[in-house]
């Protein structure tokens, strides 16, 4: 018999903790700058970059580097 997963992907907790910390820092920076909304916008943009960098670091898709693919092939 095979074991079933919990439905919670491995490594998701680290991403969520990082996102919450970045949002908190964004609110703090926004409060220092005088605009919490500006801080949240900055935090959201940085969180998207964090997501891309974190997933890239985890290496979920090895072997995607194709030196012959210049992006123009269909």
Domain ranges for the chain, please list them.
Answer: 14-57
Does 3 have pLDDT greater than 70? no
Does 48 have pLDDT greater than 70? yes
Higher pLDDT, 17 or 58: 17
CA distances from 63 to 26, 37, 67, 71 (A): 35, 40, 11, 16
Q: What is the mean pLDDT of residues 25-33?
A: 85
- E-assigned strand segments in the chain: none
Q: What is the pTM of this model?
A: 0.57
Sole residue written with tokens 């220092």: 32
């Amino acid at each position: 018999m095979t074991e079933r997963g919990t439905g919670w992907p491995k490594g998701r907790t680290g991403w969520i903790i990082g996102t919450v910390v970045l949002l908190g820092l964004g609110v703090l920076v926004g409060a220092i700058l005088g605009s919490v909304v500006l801080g949240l916008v900055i935090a959201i943009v940085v969180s998207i970059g964090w997501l891309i960098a974190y997933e890239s670091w985890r290496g979920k898709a090895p072997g995607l580097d194709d030196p012959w693919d210049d992006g123009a092939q269909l």
